[in-house]
Every structure is written in structure tokens, then in C-alpha cells.
Structure 1
Amino acid sequence: MHVRVTLVAAARSSPLLAERFGDDRPLDLPGWNEVQRVAHTLVHLSAAELRYCSPTPRSRATGDALNLAPLAQLALRDCDMGRWRGLTLGEAMAREPQAVDVWLADPYSAPHGGESLVAFIQRVGGWLDTRPVDDGARIVAVAEPAVVRAALVYALKAPPSTYWNIDVRPLSMATLTGRAGRWNLRLDFQPMRV
């Protein structure tokens, strides 16, 4: 018995360098336009039996724009960044350069007072492992790019440091097939029609 979970990275809510930890902003105009341009290529996602999203406004808006009517899941929220919430990486670095260095180097650390990278990966993996296994069931989840990265690290049983080497762009997709403790990554390369 296996399940298929398609993870969709939410459309953007700000330019990359302006992204903030724990960003609760809705989609910006370029993000909204991006969803509208590709929505027709993602219509097949609405066939999923279960549809989820992280509780952020941009994930919800992305899911709604794709006609998924997703159910928000707290376990799919972004990493808790403690006192760095609302800051850009540059702002956190300017305030606490040594703490940022520790956080980037040690996946078990949480110098910001929030969640460590390892705890974040385990939380997202726990959600993944508790999906109902109904042979061939299809699930779609729209979440922050960081959540998609965490899920991929967990599913592939990769070292936590791998998290920093996975680039997840807005509206990109990854499909995991399998069941708790045994996941496979499936990449589908299909030309996008714009």
C-alpha cells in the first residue's frame, strides 16, 4: 500500500532578497500573476483526494487560485524562527552575526529561540508519515518552499545539512510516493505551456 504526495511550493509574496522569516504576507502581484499563468498546467492537482496547505496567507491563496480548496495543516507551517521572525536573513545577520553562523552550521541549534532545523524537518516528516495510506491515494499540499525542502530531506533520509542545497522555487512541484519510513522521490519533467 502506498500514497502519492505532491508538494507544491507556494507562489511568492516578496522578492527573494526581501523574504522574511515567518512571513505572513499574502501573494504579491507578481506572485498572483505567476499563479494565473501556470494554473492551467496544474489543473490535474484538483483530482487529489486530499488537499492541504500550510496556514500562511500565500499558501492558502496559491491553493485557492489553483482551485484546490485546501485544508490548512499546522504541521506544514514554516520553521519557527523565534526572535528572528519578521526579519530578513540580512537583518538577522546584522543584529546577530555569530548566532546566524551557528544556525547555518549546526542543524541542531536554535540560537534564535525557535525551532532547530532538525526539529523542523522532523515535524514536517511526521506530518508526511501520518498521511492515510490507501493504495494509490493522491494528496496535494501547498506549502512554503522551506517546508517542501524539509519534506524532501526527510523523505530521502538525507543529512540535515542537505536542506541548504535544495533550491525550491515558487510553484515548483515534487512528488513523493510510498508510505511512512519508505519514501521515493518522483520527478516528472513536462514542458510547461505558458
Structure 2
Amino acid sequence: IAAPGTVKHVNPGESIAVNGCCLTLTSCRSDCLSFDLLEETIACTNLNDLRQNSPVNLERALRADGRVGGHFVQGHVDCVAPIIAFDTKGADFRLEVELPENSRHYVASKGSIAVNGISLTVAEVLPRSFAVWIIPYTKRHTNLDRATIGDLVNLEFDVLAKYVERMVTPLVTKE
């Protein structure tokens, strides 16, 4: 991945999120970052859809002594889903993404979700999709600036929702 100006700040072995998918940096030279991809990663993310010059979102791992802004995004992509609407209202943008049926219970209005690694607040939960509002700054500084209807985005659901499900499911199934 071409990442001018980034190479001098990172080292092989570091975790770097690419479109929200946590990857281990294997080498960095001449303004390029290299990663190894597992077949599982290719199957479960939109990374296989990337072509030369495709824009990606890059983010280094959170340091323990750093500030937390947004919600905890782990880089563990849960699924990919298509963008089904991208509307403009004034200076703001509304992004609507199809929600796989087996994942709908993880999404709540005003809850958190990561789309291509971008921490966003769910504005609306619809029967088969969800919508988020994106401010101009976020759109300009992420690969959502070039997103179009039909593009697949990586989704990571809020880890708290996944842990609650994990803890509650055995209790509910006992009854």
C-alpha cells in the first residue's frame, strides 16, 4: 500500500488497520507498506476488491497512554455489506448500508458501528439496513469520499454488543 510519509513512523510487526481490518505490517520501504493476508481475511473483508490506486483507510493501533475518541474498534471485521444509498443534505452525507439478517441484532439507533474502520454513530435502523450521517471532514479524509452505491464496506459491530450476546445467550437458552 502506498503511504507517503507514513513509513518513517511505523515498524514491521505493528498492527495497522486497513479499511478497518487489523493487519500486521511485514515490511515498509520507499513509502510502501506490506502485509500478509490470510485466506480468511480475504474471504471476510473487502480487501480482495482493492485495485491499484484504490484509496484505503489506514490507522495505527491505539496506544495504552493515548486518548480514546469514538468507540473501541478492534479491527476484527464481522462482515462486508453493500452501500445501498448515499444522499446529501446540505453539507452532510447520509450513508445507508444493507445489514445481513444474522447481524441485525447488533445494531441499535445511536449505537456505534465501524464502517471501513471509521467509528460512526448509527442514526437509523431500518428493516434491512442502517444509516449513518457523515460530516464533510470525515467524508473528505476517508475513502468514503469515493464510495458509490454497490461498493462493499467492512463492518465491525460494537464489541460490547457481542459480549452481551455471548453472556446472555446461555442464560436465555436454559429457560
Give your verdict on TM over 0.5: no
Q: Which has the higher contact order (CA 8 A, sep 6+)?
A: 1
What's the TM-score once normalised by structure 1's chain length?
Answer: 0.26
Structure with the larger strand share: 2
Structure with the larger helix share: 1
What's the TM-score once normalised by structure 2's chain length?
Answer: 0.28
